[in-house]
Every structure is written in structure tokens, then in C-alpha cells.
Amino acid sequence: MNVPRRIGILAGGGTLPREIADSVAARGMPLHIVAIDSEANADFGPYPVTRVDWGQIGRMVAALRQNACTDLVIIGSVRRPDLGAIKPDFGFFRALATVARLVAAGGDDAVLRGVIRFFEGYGFRVVGPARLAPEIIIGEGPFGRTALTPADRADAQRGFEAVAALSTFDIGQAVVVTDGRVEAFEAAEGTDRMLARVAVQRRQSGQTQGGGRGVLVKRAKPTQDERIDLPAIGPATITGCVEAGFSGLALEAGRVLAAGRQEIMERAEACRFAIEGVVPETTAVVRRRRRRQSLVRRMVRHVERWRHGDGDIQQIGNLRVPVAAEADIAIGFDVLAAMAPFADCRAVVVVRGHVLAVDCGEGALAVVRRAAGLRQWGDRRFKRRAGTVVLSAGRHSNPEVMAAAAAAGFAGLVVGLKRFTAGVAADTIGVANKAGMFIAGVVKDEEGGNAQQ
């Protein structure tokens, strides 16, 4: 293996950037950290650091160049910034075309691939964290003295299948599986918020922490670029799992990062919580390398397949469905179909090709309310409505769901329609018309899988 000459670390939140820095320094390689001000929260100790705002792209590049960095690792948790609150420098405006492409890219994987291309365009070699700190990768087998049960491993494989099935939509690296059914699917909210949500739902339904049911499953997307955004766990992950009453944590062996390994192990051992690196049974199939299509190509593909299948839109309210919304609608129904084998999925929220939230039995209203807090790149850019709530059937729509969608700034709601089933009630249509939102139905034949819920 060629030894990198000088390492730049673009640091987000959490302890992983510091752990990478420690590993690089221990190997005798010089380094420089560029820390994103609103994200990076680690103590970088003796290492040289340049702190930058999200909008200071020119300063990021200049810091790496001035410190002669040849290799770059991008590590740590980040949230998509509010574009209205950033402090742009001249380099930001020079890169405006790239920024526009990132904003329109859709899911996280597409955005991060664009980030890699951007830095490679300046001559930096982007490397994965495993190359610089292989000790932070979860290997195969139990992580500690407690192992998963056979039932847990069966749930783990089911979770691996679910993530793989939805990977084409560039969403989620984590699911909760209980007795073979997906209880929660991570989309734009992140793992910690998903765990907190499941804990609340379980308490409200009368389940207790002592039950020890269900497994949190984390895996990389099958086609993911392993240089960036591999799934990660930390001590907070263990706490969240225990508080939600899970029996274990299953991680894709070789493709998940552990931040704070010692503390993770101590917390797990204290409550006899099982953590295990597991190889997905579908690995040989899903990890075939192929060129990932751009968001535009993927959205066009969704729309074309949908139009040539059963994508006949019926306008229900006063407003027509804009052409720009068709891709979001198509993606929403495709997600509903992909989720059908795994959960009772009745609602999906999609904004400009990015899936914000997926229902796994909590209901349409809860999903819309959850998605309202997950708007990307700032809240309501240009104060224009964007995004579509897609429901599997008209009976899942009601005035409360419509009002929640309106309050969240979404552009409209679309339901699946089938013969001999209920459509959309007049009072729901009235809420849409008053809010200036479109409401429509997609007509399904009796074989149409997207609207059968």
C-alpha cells in the first residue's frame, strides 16, 4: 500500500475526526484538519486546525493547499446547511455551479459523490477512513462477550435485505427489525432521531425496556462509495438501542465505523447488549460495482417507468399537478412498492428527489409531521412550496394530514386510487384548495402494487 504523503481531514461532528487524526499521527504522517464550524465538536488537541464556515469553500481549499495536503479524508457527522445562513466567500461563488448541482442532487450518497468530485478537481486524492485507521472498522463476529441470538441474526438479514431493496432511492443505512418486520427505516432523520422515535412509540404502545425485542441493523448502501459516509456507531447508539428496548445491534462486517470503541464496549457489557459484525447473505449480489446514474437520469427513469406502467394522474383539487412534481410522485410510489414486503408502508414524503420520511406503520400524519422538520438546505427556500406527500390509498388522507402537509410547506399530496375503494373526502380537498396545494390521485389497476395498502 502506498503511504499517503500529507493528510487533510475535513472534519464534521463526533469523535471520529480526532480518532482519525490520532491514527494518522501514530503512523508518522503529517496532517492538517479543516473543521466545519457548525459541525465539528471534537477536541483536536495538538493538531493544526483551520475552522471554516460551510460557505467558505475557498478557505477550505486554500487551507489544504497551504498545508501541502495531498490526500483528504472526509469524516464526521454533518447536516445539510441552511443556505440562507451561510457566510460565503469568493470561492463559494466560484463554485456556485457545483453548489447548485449538490443542492439538486437528491439523497446523501449523490451529494457526497459530488463533494468527492469537487475536491478531486483541485488535485486532492480522497481516501476512505479505513485506509488511514483500519482499527475503527467493525469486523465479523461479536463485539464483546454478548452475541446475537439466531432470531436476532434472522432479523439482521431481513434488515440487510430492506436497506439493499431501497438503496436505489439513496435513502437510509439503518433499519429496526422486529420478528421479521421493519419497525422503522432511517431516511433523512438520522439514526439517533430514529432510535428516539422508536423508543417513544414503544412506550406509547405499552412496550417496556425489559422486553429485549428487535435489532438495529446498519449497513452501507450496496453501491456506496466507501471513501465517504460509511455508517457509524458510537456510545450514543448503544444508549439509544437500550432505551428503545432492542435485543441487539447488527452491523455489516467491514463496512461500519465505530467511534469510541472502548466506551461502546463498556456500555454494551454493562447491560449485556449484543453487538455483532455480520456478513449479509446477499453481499455477493448487491456489491457488484456499477456506475451510479445521476439524479436526473434516475428521476427520468422513475417517471418513464411509471408513465408506461400505471401512472395515470387524476387531478382532484383546483390546482394541476406540476410537471416538476412527477418525479417525486413516481419515486414515492416506487418506495411504497419496495417497502411492501417489509412493512405496512402507507406514506412517503419526497422533496426534489430526496426521500425525507418513510412510514413503517406509524401512520400518514406522524410521517408528515416528522418530515416537516427534515427540510433540506434551509427551511422553504425562496418561500416556495416543494415536495409531495405520497399515500398508498385515499383512505389514509384526511383534513389533518392535509393541514400538516400545508404547514410543512409541501406542494401537494397524491394518493393511490383503485376501483371499489374510497377516494379523497371533500373536506380534505377543501383544505388543499385553501392552502394552494395540489391534490391528485394515481389510478391503479387491480395488479398495481403501489396502492394496495
Half-sphere exposure of 2 (CA within 13 A, CB side): 7
- The C-alpha cell at 306 is 411509471
**Of 197-201, 290-294, 344-348, 376-380, which gets the smallest average pLDDT?**
290-294
Percentage with pLDDT > 70 across the chain: 82
pLDDT of 376: 57
pLDDT tens digits along 290-323: 334 444 445 445 455 555 455 578 899 999 999 9
Residue type, 192: D
List, in order of start, the domains of the chain with CATH numbers: 7-132 (3.40.50.20), 137-280 (3.40.140.80), 297-451 (3.40.140.80)
- The C-alpha cell at 335 is 418506495
The label of the residue with cell 486524492 reads: 125
Contacting residues for 70 by C-beta, under 8 A, at least 6 apart: 4, 5, 6, 124, 125
User: Could you tell me the pLDDT band of residue 415, with boundaries at 50, 70 and 90?
Assistant: very high
Q: How many helices (H) and strands (E) does the chain have?
A: 16, 19
The label of the residue with cell 485506509 reads: 131
Q: Determine the Cα–Cα distance for residues 152 and 155; give it in Å rounded to an integer.
A: 5
Half-sphere exposure of 247 (CA within 13 A, CB side): 18
The label of the residue with cell 395488479 reads: 447
For the cut 90, the answer to whether the pLDDT of residue 453 exceeds it is no
| Residue 420 DSSP code | T
- 3-class secondary structure per residue, 130-144: HHHCHHHECCCEECC
222-227 contacts: CB < 8 A, separation 24 or more?
222/164, 222/167, 222/286, 222/287, 223/109, 223/167, 223/286, 223/289, 223/290, 223/292, 224/109, 224/167, 225/109, 225/112, 225/113, 225/116, 226/128, 226/130, 226/255, 227/74, 227/116, 227/126, 227/127, 227/128
pLDDT tens digits along 67-121: 999 999 999 988 766 666 677 777 776 776 776 676 665 556 667 777 888 888 8
For the cut 70, the answer to whether the pLDDT of residue 400 exceeds it is yes
Q: Which uninterrupted H or E stretch holds 443?
A: strand 438-443
Cα angle vertex 354, ends 166, 388, to 5°? Answer: 105
pLDDT tens digits along 169-184: 888 899 999 999 999 9
